[in-house]
Amino acid sequence: MAAVLGTAAISDQGVWGLGDPHLNVVPRTPQEAARIADVTALTDDFSKPQRFEDKPAGAATVRARKDADAFSQPSGNISFEDELTFKVGNGLFRKLWVSAPSSTLASDGLGPLFNARSCQRCHLKDGRGHPPENADDNAISIFLRVSIPGTADDAVADIQGYFGTLPDPTYGTQLQDFAVQGYSAEYSLGISYQEQPVELADGTIVSLRAPTYSAENLGYGPLHPAAMLSPRVAPQMIGLGLLEAIPAQDILAGADPDDLDGDGISGRPNVVMSAVYQQPMLGRFGLKAGAPTVLEQSAAAFAGDIGISSPLHPSGAGECTQAQTDCQAAIHGDGDDRVYEIDGEGLDLVAFYSRNLGVPARRGVDDPQVLQGKKVFYETGCTACHTPSFVTHRLEDQPEQSFQLIWPFTDLLLHDMGPGLADNRPEARASGSEWRTAPLWGIGLTQQVSGHTYFLHDGRARSILEAVLWHGGEAQTQRDAVVAMPTADRDALIAYLESL
């Protein structure tokens, strides 16, 4: 069992030693800890909403707008001065990068290989991406991650259970389907679907579309024979700073890797090496919880998605590999006064913006059908992974995220979701069938914000119900309970989820 990070292996057994070095924390008093345990305990009273349940982000909650900008508001408790910082970060998030050399030095450095020209192009309106609608649609908000199996020597020695993987020697860790003028894109995304009917207890037939993915029109030769591909749709952006401010120990308290309580749920933390703090940290962000902080997730996206260098990913060639010699030799946008294509200050501004995208208030919390759906959600056992509430750390320098009662409906842990959802590609400690529990806040506004209702890591589910029916593995019991539900209970469950 590890007692000191960085000097001993991390173990699933005993007490985890992971801390929160990214936060300036004011320690909780015993009295506060007792109050928090009481306020976050699961309820068994479904006759009325819980206190503050309508404010999923606490004081940071924002008004639920009725237009597509519902996910694009700053934290409800942000100061005037910090709202200005938020808007500057928004400008960088929306910025369209151009290829180098360019007269607009502050915006050049795109690619040479990329998936999108801006953060906003994937996270349109700060909402969810989607797979192509048809053969004529682009794949701008979905891409394929790629890696090949490594050996034990390729794992992080300080983190027990870490899967050793390597980039594809030609294509790296992510396939880019665009390139600047004069260069070849790496691939084009191919998707085919096979419909799989599921009959519910009331006779309703729900068709699930099972996808098959392919990397077509490869621009730099074949992939490695052992290449593992994983589709990823851009997730929604709301509430990230609040998820980052949940105490690591509160998340780890929900881990039960050996299912000692016998409920069939064995959530495990992903643990990754932080490039900023040079120590193992709890993974929180990304579909397999592969990034520890909003800043590190943002820097990785700049490098992989847009081909933009930063202090954390200094290569001006972005994600192109040494095998792609023309890409390496291209003119890049670094080397001027910025040093990197986005400097540390710019990266901090984008991270600040991402932390402070407000979570809209709940709708219809006292509606009788919604309350019945809440009862169904809890009694079916959905809360075993979709933990309703946490209280964030009390923070010295982040008032928007400090000491808030939040309702994200995630435990931020990894769960085996069965073969139906498996991508068969490990990431850090996450196996090929494990995924981080997705936060549910804002899920009912997806159509309004993003113009679609596609869910799961690759957007295969075309509705909330389809997403539920894809659950397997640790969630098989809950999925089967939904199949067997009376129509009224199932409708109430969906109404509850749409109210979040």
How do residues 434-477 score in pLDDT, each as one tens digit? 999 999 999 999 999 999 999 999 999 999 999 999 999 999 99
* Amino acid occupying residue 141: S
Residue 428 has pLDDT above 60, yes or no: yes
Region 99-103 average pLDDT: 87
Looking at residue 336, what is its pLDDT? 79
pTM metric for this prediction: 0.95
Residue 4 has pLDDT above 90, yes or no: no
Closest CA to 253 of 494, 18, 491, 471: 18
Instruction: Give 16's pLDDT tier (boundaries 50, 70, 90).
Output: low
Instruction: Give 243's pLDDT tier (boundaries 50, 70, 90).
Output: very high
Instruction: Give 11's pLDDT tier (boundaries 50, 70, 90).
Output: very low
The C-alpha atoms of residue 9 and residue 373 are separated, in whole angstroms, by 43
**Degrees, nearest 5: CA angle 180-186-187:** 120
The C-alpha atoms of residue 404 and residue 311 are separated, in whole angstroms, by 31
Instruction: Give 57's pLDDT tier (boundaries 50, 70, 90).
Output: very high
Write out the two tokens for 431: 């196996």
Per-residue pLDDT tens for 206-216?
Answer: 999 999 999 99
Residue 496 has pLDDT above 70, yes or no: yes
Looking at residue 40, what is its pLDDT? 98
Looking at residue 10, what is its pLDDT? 43
Q: Pick 8 or 234 by higher pLDDT.
A: 234
Looking at residue 348, what is its pLDDT? 98
Q: For tokens 């010295």, what's the residue? A: 396
Looking at residue 338, what is its pLDDT? 79
Looking at residue 6, what is its pLDDT? 35
Region 165-180 average pLDDT: 97
Instruction: Give 232's pLDDT tier (boundaries 50, 70, 90).
Output: very high
Contact 299, 153 (CB under 8 A): no
Q: How far, CA to CA in Å, does 350 sit from each of 88, 316, 488?
A: 8, 19, 44
Contact 119, 130 (CB under 8 A): no
The C-alpha atoms of residue 304 and residue 219 are separated, in whole angstroms, by 17
Per-residue pLDDT tens for 154-170?
Answer: 999 889 999 999 999 99
Looking at residue 13, what is its pLDDT? 42
Per-residue pLDDT tens for 350-383?
Answer: 999 999 999 999 999 999 999 999 999 999 999 9
CB neighbour burial string for 411-435, b if at least 16 within 10 angstroms, e if fewer = bbbbbbbbebbbbebbbbbbbbbbb
Helices 368-380 and 476-484 pack at an angle, to 10 degrees, of 140
Residue 2 has pLDDT above 70, yes or no: no
Region 53-66 average pLDDT: 98
**258 class by beta-carbon count within 10 Å (0-12 exposed, 13-18 middle, 19+ buried):** exposed
Q: For tokens 């929180």, what's the residue? A: 284
Looking at residue 7, what is its pLDDT? 33
Residue 3 has pLDDT above 80, yes or no: no
Looking at residue 134, what is its pLDDT? 83
Looking at residue 17, what is its pLDDT? 79
Residue 433 has pLDDT above 50, yes or no: yes
